Structure 1
Amino acid sequence: MRRTNPLSSPRSLRFLALLGLALGVSLRAQPSAPDIAFDSNADFLKLPDTIHLGEAAGVATNSKGHVFVYTRTGPANATVGASRTFYKAGSRLLEFDQTGKFVREIGAGVYGLNFAQALRIDPQDNIWAVDQGSSNVIKFDPEGRIQLVLSRKPEAIGVRPAAPRGGPPPEGRGAEGRAAPPPEGRGGSEARGGAPPGAGGGGGRGIPGPPGSGIPGDSFVRTADVAWDRAGNIYVADGVAVGGGNARVAKFDKDGHFIKSWGARGSEPGQFNSLHGIALDAQGNVYVADAGNKRIQVFDGDGTFKTAIANVGTPYAVCITPGAHQYLYTSNSNDPETLDNGEIYKLELDGRIVGKFGRAGKLPKEFGMVNSIDCRNENELYIGELTNWRVQKVTLRAAR
């Protein structure tokens, strides 16, 4: 006897379509994404002999074409006190000119540059460093002077007792007993589902509330990214961790005064599980890379859910081009333990796929866990990779 799919009946199809409209998710069939031809320069940046690029967590360009990289490298250290561990350094903010020549280091020794997460340049060429380790968002002016700091670096980090002489090192420390940050996306109390260091109940640092909703203000937990609207209002994606810590978007005015926040941990519309990127279009719509739920959620500037784009894998990096016709770029970043996927998608703002390019790998024109995309120029991109410790300059070829 021939079996029929119960979901293929006209009534079921109508139900699914209505469900998709209710959730703001398009159920329209997507054709397979065409490949976009491209060229790549994997050795564009020229570093001094005394500086080495580590994980390229953030890359951005300014109006002059200079390239800025926020990288996980440098002599990290931790001082253990009676009840606290004080972390310092571990990431560096570097500037290169438009030819890739090294220009300078910005913020050497700054208290909040611990574990780089993202980097953005605003329309006034101010430099915004987002740090997952300190949970800070730090604004530098074009000359490299600090203008604004959001959030406070958590210092009340529990110190585990030392292992017995000759025994294994304490959990979370290396073979020599040095504190080590958890690998991207896993490890640490947050990745295991517990609260982050210094955090209390489900609402963030000790304040009850919906899990992941945080507390009003700039008490961030493992900050993910930053963006702005035309009025200069600041939007912060707060919460890289999977299953713990904050899971929200926080909005501030141009001077850093808190306006509102939205989101909580979960998989429903308006909820998040591991935010990784944020970008705004010219109309002020907010696009959030909700990596743990494998989607990009779209909101208006007040946090009202509009739609979700759920056909581009696991989005880590998101970037929206300037100009009259804007495009959205997003990375389907590979897991750190595999070389699966890894491609970058080019989309219309409504979620329709224009094409894709690249794949996971170690060679030029391949990508290793993309964490950042700069798309100031629609067809000339800078791609920051974690596992390959590099920035690739990518040029998309015109369609024939």
Structure 2
Amino acid sequence: HGQYAPEIPVESVPDFFRLPTGVNFGEVPAVAVNSQGHIFAFSRSNPTGGGPAYGIHAAQLFEFGPSGDFIREHGRGLYAWAFAHGLRIDVNDDIWTVDKGSNMVIRMNPEGRMVWVFGRKAESSSESARPIERQNPPAPPQDGRFREPTDIAFDSQGNIYIADGYINSRVAKYDMNGDWVLSWGEPGTGPGQLRTPHSIAIDSDDNVYVGDRSNARIQVFDTNGNFQRMFSVATPIAPGSKAVNGSTPADLANVSSNGAPNSLCIPPDSNILYVGESTFPGRIIKA
């Protein structure tokens, strides 16, 4: 049991984003803002509206102005997009997307032209073009290949860190030129081990924060993958809270059932960490 955290005051603006007529958001797993205040939303939606119930492509990237006016869609029908997951804007306003379905990471320039590609998905003509089989333990990871990656971050030197993700349970590091450097992490519950590294963020001192979601903790590493520390943001849940999906825990004051980090954000020039909690209770926690 612990203390209730003070509530952060927020103002909700209804209908802020003005999509074109007939266009809708699906699930939106990631949003990002560039230096001009433009807002990007990576949506699990399908521009054609067709396809099978299972395995349908669900990835669209929308750009909006600072007031929510629609500007354009980037990468419509892009080969590397199948199931939207991660989105970040770097210091040069380049746009980076992480696709869990295709196992690919894309870098676009600010105009939306594809510049770099990391990873590769199974070819549609191959018998391996099917969902990845979950093995326990999983097959060993490969350099430069991902299995259901989730997020991406950058250090002060321009190095790139990819959370890889649902199966490989590791962090992959590339240098500023896009060349592979190393990876760290493996499935498990011990220090330095990961279970669904779902998000990643780096502070101004180049500490690497990894949202270890299924272990309900945040682990901190240096840029070479050396474990530094770990902590939890679990706090008691407000009385009366109800789960949207699944059952609601009987004891909301018991912090063991919450605090799983779904997303991490460290604003520029700040060492404040914002943690988006997983489905229940689904809070934003400031740490």
TM-score strictly above 0.5: yes
In structure 2, relative to structure 1, the CA distance for the partners of 1:141 and 1:265 (3 Å cut) is same
Mapping 1:352-391, distance limit 5 Å: none
Task: Report the AA paired with residue 318 of structure 1.
Answer: L
What TM-score, normalized to structure 2? 0.84
Q: Is the CA contact (8 Å cut-off) linking 1:89 and 1:111 kept in structure 2?
A: no
Mapping 1:134-149, distance limit 5 Å: 134-149=102-117
User: Which of 291, 311, 316 is the aligned partner of 2:233?
Assistant: 311
- In structure 1, what is the Cα distance between the partners aligned to 2:49 and 2:211? 29
- In structure 2, what is the Cα distance between the partners aligned to 1:71 and 1:135? 17
Instruction: State the Cα deviation string for residues 129-149 of structure 1 (Å, max 9, x = none).
Output: 110000111000001111100
**1:342 is matched with which residue?**
282
Q: Report SS of the residue matched to 1:256.
A: coil
User: Which of 217, 220, 234 is the aligned partner of 2:160?
Assistant: 234
Task: Report the AA paired with residue 185 of structure 2.
Answer: G
- In structure 2, what is the Cα distance between the partners aligned to 1:253 and 1:224? 19
Whether 1:100 aligns to 2:68 is yes
User: Which of 84, 89, 92 is the aligned partner of 1:121?
Assistant: 89
User: Which of 328, 345, 356 is the aligned partner of 2:273?
Assistant: 328
| Offset of residue 326 of structure 1 | 2.1
| Offset of residue 228 of structure 1 | 0.6
- In structure 1, what is the Cα distance between the partners aligned to 2:83 and 2:5? 35
Larger Rg, first or second structure (1 or 2): 1
- In structure 2, what is the Cα distance between the partners aligned to 1:255 and 1:295? 31
Whether 1:260 aligns to 2:182 is yes
Q: Is the CA contact (8 Å cut-off) linking 1:247 and 1:265 kept in structure 2?
A: yes
Q: Is the CA contact (8 Å cut-off) linking 2:233 and 2:285 kept in structure 1?
A: no
Asked which structure has the greater RCO (Cα within 8 Å, sep 6+), the reply is: 1
- In structure 2, what is the Cα distance between the partners aligned to 1:52 and 1:78? 17
Instruction: State the Cα deviation string for residues 292-333 of structure 1 (Å, max 9, x = none).
Output: 00001100111011111123311101000122x420000122
Q: Is the CA contact (8 Å cut-off) linking 1:135 and 1:223 kept in structure 2?
A: yes
Mapping 1:1-400, distance limit 5 Å: 31-74=3-46, 75=48, 89-155=57-123, 156=126, 158=128, 194-195=134-135, 202=137, 204=139, 209=140, 214-215=141-142, 217-240=143-166, 245-312=167-234, 313-323=259-269, 325-334=270-279, 340-347=280-287
| Offset of residue 154 of structure 1 | 2.3
Q: Report SS of the residue matched to 2:58.
A: coil
Q: Report SS of the residue matched to 1:292.
A: helix
User: Where in structure 1 do 4 or more consecutive aligned residues deviate above 3 Å?
Assistant: 75-79, 155-160, 201-204
Instruction: State the Cα deviation string for residues 67-89 of structure 1 (Å, max 9, x = none).
Output: 0011000137779xxxxxxx784
- In structure 1, what is the Cα distance between the partners aligned to 2:12 and 2:63? 20
Task: Report the AA paired with residue 267 of structure 2.
Answer: T
- In structure 2, what is the Cα distance between the partners aligned to 1:121 and 1:32? 33
| Offset of residue 94 of structure 1 | 0.6
Task: Report the AA paired with residue 51 of structure 1.
Answer: V
**1:16 is matched with which residue?**
none
What TM-score, normalized to structure 1? 0.61
Q: Report SS of the residue matched to 1:33.
A: coil
Q: Is the CA contact (8 Å cut-off) linking 1:300 and 1:306 kept in structure 2?
A: yes
Q: Percent identity?
A: 41
**1:373 is matched with which residue?**
none
In structure 2, relative to structure 1, the CA distance for the partners of 1:300 and 1:77 (3 Å cut) is farther
Listed as ranges, the gaps of 5+ residues in structure 2 are 235-258
| Offset of residue 235 of structure 1 | 0.2
Listed as ranges, the gaps of 5+ residues in structure 1 are 1-28, 80-86, 161-187, 196-200, 335-339, 348-400
Q: Is the CA contact (8 Å cut-off) linking 2:122 and 2:128 kept in structure 1?
A: no
- In structure 2, what is the Cα distance between the partners aligned to 1:203 and 1:258? 22
CA RMSD of aligned residues (A): 2.3
Q: Report SS of the residue matched to 1:40.
A: coil
- In structure 2, what is the Cα distance between the partners aligned to 1:299 and 1:101? 39
Q: Is the CA contact (8 Å cut-off) linking 1:224 and 1:276 kept in structure 2?
A: yes
